[in-house]
Amino acid sequence: MVGSGGVGDAAARIAAERGFFERWVVADYDLARAERTVADVTDRHPGESRFVAARVDASSADAVTALAREHGATHVFNAVDPKFVMPIFEGAMAAGADYLDMAMSLSQRHPERPFSETGVKLGDEQFAAAGDWEAQGRLALVGIGVEPGLSDVFARYAADHLFSEIDELGVRDGANLVVRDDDGNEVFAPSFSMWTTIEECLNPPVVWEQGRGWFTTEPFSEPEVFDFPEGIGPVECVNVEHEEVLLMPRWVEAKRVTFKYGLGDEFIGILKVLSALGLDRTEPVTVKGVQVSPRDVVAAVLPDPATIGPRLTGKTCAGLFVTGTGTDGQPRRTYLHHVVDNTWSMERYGAQCVVWQTAVNPVVALELLATGVWSGSGVLGPEAFDAEPFLTLLAAPQPAGYGSPWGQDER
């Protein structure tokens, strides 16, 4: 596992309860951070000796290859910011290991028409290497977090079991999370990597339509109020660039694929300001003789999402709203969803809910791959695999499963 930030740390805590692996190498650029994760896991599970800490530079494919070879890794699990996707992806391939990630190689907007046409799409660099992976009999399972990840599993499940014809596969993500300071006042603190949030929210959103293919829009387009389950309620959602739109149409038949994120007014306002001021930029600027990337500064002034868990209350919901014709030939509208309450994830795993929800899915996938339930080669999304064993293993009570139920609302 490359990266022991919020998601990597939570993945280790979840994996420690499972028996499907012999060794889990927790690697980070900051060795002390990797060691902290290993120490935490060992504290929680006395006698646990399968976790080892290592240092790795995720920007170097060679470093990833060397580390994977040193430990004879069968799988390289990428748990760092998406800007490091390509070196880890290539490093895993060179080491002869299978590869998993939770975000795909980054996009580049169309140079002339960024808000109508795609340029380089999310994952394009990875799919370009699909032939090599297939030829070598190796698997790159891309986008296997919660979104992308569980949302894609839902798409395959809907197509196989619920619908005869799908009009729209619409990922809808929303939450009612609130962060408070020591005095109980609400503060702004994103529950996920601010670098990644800026990247996905300010890039031109991508939409897929049958007959038209992929196209882009202006940021924050097509606002709609979506009613989230389990007490979260209505949240304003807008189009956001996300991997599902690039993944689902490759394996699941639908007329339209969208991703809308329940950012809410305040967060949209903040992102618009960051964009208007140029604070979203990644190219370094010179500040009093020092070179820094403005986006890195924004991330640095905000609380680390991995640390806000104790000050957070509320629930997060990931899900897929599917519309079309049911297997009975009748019109159908179904929201498949997965809700995590922060109080539960903090008590049970000491992990913040958004981070925990992201982390559990690749661990489930690794277990399915380790046990041979899932297998394949090439560069594949979660939709390429049978959804039912995944959803069963995720929801089944412990110790057989992961004890994290998902839901299905007919609307």
Q: Which chain residues interact with a second copy by CB under 8 A?
A: 187-188, 269-270, 273-274, 276-279, 281, 285-288, 290-294, 296-298, 300-302
Burial 215-226 (b: 16+ CB within 10 A, else e): bbbebbeeeeeb
- Nearest distance from residue 269's CB to a second copy, in Å? 6
Other C-beta atoms lying within 10 Å of the C-beta of residue 353: 26
Cα–Cα distance measured from residue 45 to residue 32, given in angstroms and rounded to the nearest whole number: 20
Tokens found for residue 202 = 């300010």
- Nearest distance from residue 277's CB to a second copy, in Å? 6
- Nearest distance from residue 57's CB to a second copy, in Å? 13
- Nearest distance from residue 300's CB to a second copy, in Å? 5
Radius of gyration of the chain measured on its C-alpha atoms? 20
Cα–Cα distance measured from residue 68 to residue 92, given in angstroms and rounded to the nearest whole number: 7
Q: Is 181 exposed, middle or buried (0-12, 13-18, 19+ CB in 10 A)?
A: exposed
- 208 strand-pairing partners: 214, 257
Of 242 and 295, the one with the shorter C-beta distance to a second copy is 295
Of 60 and 325, the one with the shorter C-beta distance to a second copy is 60
Of 5 and 170, the one with the shorter C-beta distance to a second copy is 5
Cα–Cα distance measured from residue 13 to residue 370, given in angstroms and rounded to the nearest whole number: 18
Of 39 and 297, the one with the shorter C-beta distance to a second copy is 297
Cα–Cα distance measured from residue 29 to residue 387, given in angstroms and rounded to the nearest whole number: 34
- Nearest distance from residue 120's CB to a second copy, in Å? 24
Of 139 and 202, the one with the shorter C-beta distance to a second copy is 202
Cα–Cα distance measured from residue 373 to residue 393, given in angstroms and rounded to the nearest whole number: 11
Contacts of residue 254, defined as CB under 8 A and 6 or more positions apart, other chains included, come to 155, 159, 166, 167, 168, 169, 210, 248, 324
For the chain, helix (H) and strand (E) counts, in that order, are 14, 20
Of 181 and 222, the one with the shorter C-beta distance to a second copy is 181
- Nearest distance from residue 83's CB to a second copy, in Å? 13
Other C-beta atoms lying within 10 Å of the C-beta of residue 411: 9
- Nearest distance from residue 4's CB to a second copy, in Å? 18
- Nearest distance from residue 387's CB to a second copy, in Å? 39
Of 179 and 363, the one with the shorter C-beta distance to a second copy is 179
Of 30 and 253, the one with the shorter C-beta distance to a second copy is 30
Answer for the pair 364, 406: CB distance below 8 angstroms, yes or no.
no
Of 59 and 377, the one with the shorter C-beta distance to a second copy is 59
Answer for the pair 180, 311: CB distance below 8 angstroms, yes or no.
yes
- Nearest distance from residue 136's CB to a second copy, in Å? 35
